[in-house]
């Protein structure tokens, strides 16, 4: 990787952290997650800019592709809490299983009914 | 959010656990590929099992492990902010989907957590456990922060989110047949609304349009839930 690309990637990552810090600052006044506020601020920034800088796109794609990695520690912690539920764990799991199944049925049924017959005009490319 | 780990001295033990977690993840991705992307072998699941086994074998406590790998958990913050980029890129899709798309996302986004809460409320679970299922359909970093704000258990919520994501993908094939759903847009919306980032990964395997709609649903549902839940609790609790 050329040196310029490395520097650009580091700057893009720092940009993400700066927006997270801004969101963190803002969350003292608005009771919303800091990361969400950072997301919205960056989104409005991109709207103002009118395009996504290449380095920022690459860094965010990398982070989102490997999102699973960052999930591992929280999932380990969840294990610990799930054990504390003891015999009620299966009731808890059943709630998740049933609600996921039913809501998936409803959303796909509703989406199919609403979109059936309408022209499929959405853009094909998805920038991935 | 705390930034303490930035100023703390890094110990050898911490470096080893960071490296082990990275190794477990890379191994999990390799296994996932080996099983031709069968969702039962999702890297999150295999990675967590590998790490759990290593923690059990060593004399490390779960609390110590969480402390050691704090930099990894912390990265969920910047990763959430990075969602702004796909959201911006999907603006055209959001406009094309219009009110119909929004309706599907909002209905799906409300039904999933309310059904889970309704069932959980029938039994004798503590309040904070009950609140931890409300963010089940939104992407983990948003779910963790939102659950923290409304008084649930963030760690449990993270587990609920991952389980929901994987179950949604496993159910999706059967459900799409049941509801005779053959429109890529509807499939993408359903997967993204119910199964967030894990569903979106599956939607990308269906086709690009399903992927685009799923990314859109993931962002919109995550943002709407993360805004409305704390607001709701602020107003009524």
**Same-domain check for residues B66 and B135:** no
Question: What is chain B's percent helix, strand, coil content, to nearest 5?
Answer: 80, 0, 20
pLDDT digits (tens, 9 = 90+) for B105-130: 999 888 888 888 888 888 878 888 88
CB-closest option in B65, B93, B108 to A106: B108
pTM: 0.81
**Same-domain check for residues B131 and B197:** yes
**Same-domain check for residues B32 and B64:** yes
| B139 backbone dihedrals φ, ψ, rounded to 5° | -60, 140
Return the DSSP state at B182: -
CB-closest option in A32, A43, A126 to B211: A126
C-beta atoms of B223 and A98 within 8 A: no
**Same-domain check for residues B129 and B109:** yes
CB-closest option in B85, B133, B197 to A56: B85
Chain B: residue whose CA lies nearest to A25:
B1
Is there a contact between A30 and B226 (Cβ–Cβ < 8 Å)? no
pLDDT digits (tens, 9 = 90+) for B16-35: 999 999 999 999 999 999 98
Domain boundary among B50, B74, B98: B74
**Same-domain check for residues B86 and B176:** yes
Domain boundary among B32, B52, B74: B74
- Please state the rounded mean pLDDT for residues A65-89: 83
**Same-domain check for residues B14 and B56:** yes
CB-closest option in B21, B96, B140 to A121: B96
**Same-domain check for residues B96 and B26:** no
Give CA–CA dist B46/B236, Å, rounded. Answer: 40
Whether A91 and chain B come into contact, CB under 8 Å, resolves to: yes
Q: What is residue B3's predicted lDDT score, i.e. its pLDDT?
A: 59
**Same-domain check for residues B60 and B87:** no
Q: How many domains does chain B have?
A: 2
Return the DSSP state at B159: H
**Same-domain check for residues B51 and B127:** no
Q: What angle do CA A74, B175, B157 make, to 5 degrees?
A: 15
C-beta atoms of A63 and B78 within 8 A: yes
Give CA–CA dist B117/B112, Å, rounded. Answer: 9
DSSP string, A34-47: HHHHHHHHHHHHHH
- Cβ neighbours of B222 in A, within 8 Å: 36
Give CA–CA dist B148/A89, Å, rounded. Answer: 21
- Cβ neighbours of B83 in A, within 8 Å: 39, 60, 64
Task: Provide the domain limits for residue B36.
Answer: 3-74
The label of the residue with tokens 């967030």 reads: B196
C-beta atoms of B69 and A73 within 8 A: yes
- Count H helices, E strands: chain A? 5, 0
pLDDT digits (tens, 9 = 90+) for A40-71: 899 999 999 999 999 999 998 888 888 888 87
Q: What angle do CA A18, A22, A26 make, to 5 degrees?
A: 170
Chain B neighbours among A 30-49 (CB < 8 Å)? 31-36, 38-40, 42-43, 45-47
Return the DSSP state at A32: S
**Same-domain check for residues B107 and B211:** yes
The interface predicted TM-score (ipTM) is 0.82
B91 is written with which tokens?
């603006």
**Same-domain check for residues B64 and B160:** no
Neighbours of B228 (CB within 10 A): 14
């Amino acid at each position: 990787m050329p040196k310029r690309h490395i520097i650009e990637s580091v700057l893009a990552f720092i940009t993400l952290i700066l927006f997270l810090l801004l969101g963190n600052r803002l969350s003292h006044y608005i009771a919303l997650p800091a990361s969400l506020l950072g997301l919205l601020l960056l989104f409005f920034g991109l709207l103002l800019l009118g395009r996504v800088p290449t380095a920022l796109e690459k860094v965010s794609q990398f982070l989102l592709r490997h999102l699973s990695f960052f999930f591992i520690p929280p999932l380990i912690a969840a294990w610990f809490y799930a054990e504390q539920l003891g015999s009620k764990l299966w009731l808890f799991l059943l709630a998740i299983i049933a609600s996921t199944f039913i809501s998936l049925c409803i959303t796909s049924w509703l989406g199919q009914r609403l979109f059936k017959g309408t022209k499929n005009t959405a853009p094909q490319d998805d920038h991935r | 959010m705390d930034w303490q780990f930035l100023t703390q001295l890094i110990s050898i033990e911490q470096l080893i656990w960071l490296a082990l977690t990275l190794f477990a993840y890379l191994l999990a991705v390799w296994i996932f590929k080996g099983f031709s992307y069968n969702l039962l072998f999702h890297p999150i699941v295999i990675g967590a099992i590998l790490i759990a086994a290593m923690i059990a074998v060593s004399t490390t406590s779960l609390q110590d492990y969480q402390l050691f790998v704090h930099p990894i958990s912390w990265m969920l913050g910047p990763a959430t902010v990075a969602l702004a980029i796909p959201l911006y890129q999907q603006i055209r899709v959001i406009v094309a989907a219009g009110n119909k798309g929004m309706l599907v996302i909002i209905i799906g986004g409300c039904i999933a957590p309310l059904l889970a809460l309704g069932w959980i409320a029938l039994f004798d679970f503590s309040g904070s456990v009950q609140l931890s299922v409300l963010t089940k359909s939104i992407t983990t970093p948003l779910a963790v922060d939102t659950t923290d704000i409304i008084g649930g258990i963030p760690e449990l919520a993270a587990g609920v989110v991952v389980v929901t994501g994987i179950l949604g993908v496993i159910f999706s094939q059967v459900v799409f047949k049941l509801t005779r759903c053959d429109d890529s847009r509807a499939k993408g919306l359903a997967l993204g609304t119910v199964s967030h980032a894990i569903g979106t990964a599956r939607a990308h395997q269906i086709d690009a349009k399903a992927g685009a709609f799923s990314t859109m649903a993931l962002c919109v549902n995550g943002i709407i839930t993360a805004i409305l839940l704390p607001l709701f609790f602020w107003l009524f609790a």
